[in-house]
Structure 1
Amino acid sequence: MLQNVATGATLFQPGDRRTLYRIESGALCHYMLWSDGRHDVIEFAFPGDIVGLGHLSYHVSTAQAMVDTVVSLVSDEEFESASDRDDRLSFRLASAVEREFEHLRDKSLSGPGHVPAAARVANFLLALSAMNTPEGRDPREISDDITAGFVAEQLNMSIEKLGAALLLLKKEGAVRETPSGLRIIDTATLQKVADAA
């Protein structure tokens, strides 16, 4: 199915449900807008390029048409097949996941005085989960290699606040402790707490 995107129109933006697109004709500017107002251009996409990569269920970046552009939807199966033929796609996917991690971290750190600690911790755990996908690893497992001190430092909060936030997330049924670290039990609840930011 083909979709026309007029010059200057947005194909996707942060918060839109994740969809993969192939550029059939035209060109897109793909960029990030950070909480401090910075714009970072990720790439310029041309015919044959696939955009919209990532692991979160929603986009964290924006794709805007530089000229009249035509795109087609790319299924997960088509993407897997294309990844097998093109190593660049794997690298681009890894870069997209890193951007998602930075987006969630940026979101959790922006306005720390105004964002509840539990929401900041939930965003951080979601970011770690998105990054924690080596072969054979469960993305819901947060290894105990990641210390409380490291997390508190990353989130600019005290160990006591971190402990209270984790306790709240446990009470909500979003996470639980395991012998190997922390396990995300209910991603939807964790996302709901994170969205309170």
Structure 2
Amino acid sequence: MLASHPIEIGHIVVPARRAPGQAGSGDLAERMRSASIRKLESKEHVFCEGDPRIHVFQVEEGVIAIYKTLSDGRRRIIDFAYPGDLIGLGAGKEHILSAQATCRGKVRCHSAASLEALAESDAGLAIKLYRSVCQELEATRDLLVAVGQRGAVERLASFLLALRRKDAKDPDTVRLAMRRSDIADLLGLTIETVSRTLSKLRAMRVIDVEQGGTTVTLRDIPRLTELSNA
């Protein structure tokens, strides 16, 4: 499929340490540490579609929803960015996606032009960005398959496993730092279906949901993997 508009990467994870033989690739981490910090309230936007692409942002704390506004006004979340992720990278002069905090957080702000100039002169960094772009495209394709071909249980199971790989410090626990409506917008479900499906997985003794609904314990990861239709 050919794209008629510049493709903007929702978030890219760049390793902080310099790899052997890749001189200068650690400069990004050093620059990010000295970049200014912007505090965010829940639901506050980092940037919106159509805004000039002046800065690239690294998530310092919290979770950021990356989404596209459809022609009928509905929101479609593409992914969630976590601490360490870069958001706002792209080929165009304007953002074609929006980024909104799901909870209180912080981002570091770095000049987009400066980062692009650094990548042009640093082959190691450019390769890392290329690999990260490939990983991002693979994740997007997985999402398309999940939404287009899987049922609610499969979609939610896939989402919980993705959170486990991405965010959980405890391999058996994931934190839902977003609203049920955010999860619904990512998976192409309704809020009610997300809640019912979580309850169904709990009844199946695959997961436990703590009071408040923000922490999920994965009780049977092999079964959850099976349900995800992976």
Is the TM-score greater than 0.5?
Answer: no
- Please state which band the TM-score falls in when normalised by the shorter chain: 0.3 to 0.5
Normalised by the size of structure 2, how large is the TM-score? Answer: 0.37
Normalised by the size of structure 1, how large is the TM-score? Answer: 0.43
